């Protein structure tokens, strides 16, 4: 399969995860599903960063200093993105449709655009890395898209309108992927930069957004389940090394 076809299919499939909010039509409470998905996503993101993206950056010849620098850049940029664009919470308990919901959509669109860039960089390196990167991003996107859908509903959108706008913000992943593919032929170093940059993004998302959510669980039995799915995510990423 041509690399561009693989990139577009992967980016589009990740975009389709925006429709996962449709499950709210059948089930109101998703706590148990999110509980498992978040634990699994943490392991997958960290496994993707440390077992695939960073080793691949070493294999293509990047020196340690550049790898650390680009990884740190990923962490910083994802922090800036979340801090100034991805507005998740209402101020003083009040939500205003024209600010809160649309700021959320804007931030999510930028975030998905970067996800598409990372997917493309993975496939441009090699097919196996593209697949593992897509899986790691998808596992993170599932709980995120459920949260985004909830935000839009809370902000006053109807279910149909929330699904449509959530998809429009998600489809930016395809444009991000196309951008990287198009410019990779002009700037060969772009892919080299995006691999450790993506690792930094994965580490930031797992450590800043998801792990704090896991720490909110205090019960021993559910904490054990968290640990099992967390480790399963890492093991899954390790097994993808042999694809």
- Per domain, the residue ranges of the chain are 29-242
DSSP 94: B
Cα 106 from Cα 84, distance rounded (Å): 11
Q: pLDDT at position 9, please?
A: 95
Q: pLDDT at position 92, please?
A: 46
| Confidence (pTM) | 0.71
Summarize pLDDT for 110-150 with one digit per residue, the tens.
Answer: 778 888 998 998 898 889 889 989 998 888 777 667 767 76
Q: How far is CA 205 from CA 116, 137, 141, in A?
A: 16, 10, 11
Choice between 78 and 185, residue whose per-residue pLDDT is larger: 78
The sign one gets for the Cα dihedral 26, 30, 36, 39 is positive
Summarize pLDDT for 8-63 with one digit per residue, the tens.
Answer: 999 999 999 888 766 655 555 556 666 777 888 888 889 888 998 899 888 877 88
What lies within 8 Å, CB to CB, of 190 at 6+ separation is 121, 180, 183, 184
Summarize pLDDT for 150-172 with one digit per residue, the tens.
Answer: 667 666 778 788 888 889 989 99
Summarize pLDDT for 65-114 with one digit per residue, the tens.
Answer: 999 999 999 899 888 877 765 554 444 444 444 455 666 677 678 778 88
Which two three-digit tokens encode residue 108?
A: 């999510």
Other C-beta atoms lying within 10 Å of the C-beta of residue 188: 10
Q: pLDDT at position 103, please?
A: 62
CB-side exposure of 80: number of CA atoms within 13 Å? 8
Q: pLDDT at position 150, please?
A: 65
- Asked if residue 40 lies in contact with residue 229, where contact means CB atoms within 8 angstroms, the answer is yes
Summarize pLDDT for 198-231 with one digit per residue, the tens.
Answer: 889 889 888 887 888 888 888 889 899 999 999 9
Cα 43 from Cα 82, distance rounded (Å): 21
**pLDDT level of residue 243 (50, 70, 90 thresholds):** low
């Amino acid at each position: 399969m041509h690399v561009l076809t693989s990139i577009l299919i992967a980016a589009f499939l990740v975009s389709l995860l925006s429709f996962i909010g449709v499950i709210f039509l059948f089930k109101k409470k998703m706590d148990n599903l999110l509980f498992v998905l978040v634990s699994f996503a943490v392991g997958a993101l960290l496994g993707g960063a440390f077992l695939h993206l960073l080793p691949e950056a070493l294999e293509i010849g990047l020196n340690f200093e550049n790898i650390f620098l680009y990884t740190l850049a990923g962490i910083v940029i994802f922090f800036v993105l979340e801090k100034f664009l991805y507005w998740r919470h209402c101020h003083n308990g009040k939500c205003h449709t024209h600010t809160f919901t649309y700021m959320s959509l804007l931030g999510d669109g930028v975030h998905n655009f970067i996800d598409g860039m990372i997917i493309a960089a993975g496939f441009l390196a090699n097919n196996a890395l593209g697949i593992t990167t897509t899986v790691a991003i998808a596992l993170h996107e599932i709980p995120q898209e459920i949260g985004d859908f909830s935000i839009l509903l809370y902000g006053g959108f109807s279910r149909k309108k929330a699904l449509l706008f959530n998809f429009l913000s998600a489809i930016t992943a395809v444009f991000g992927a196309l951008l990287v593919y198009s410019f990779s032929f002009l700037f060969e170093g772009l892919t080299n930069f995006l691999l450790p940059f993506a690792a930094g993004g994965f580490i930031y998302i797992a450590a800043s957004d998801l792990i704090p959510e896991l720490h909110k669980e205090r019960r021993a039995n559910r904490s054990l389940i968290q640990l099992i799915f967390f480790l399963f995510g890492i093991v899954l990423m390790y097994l993808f090394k042999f694809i």
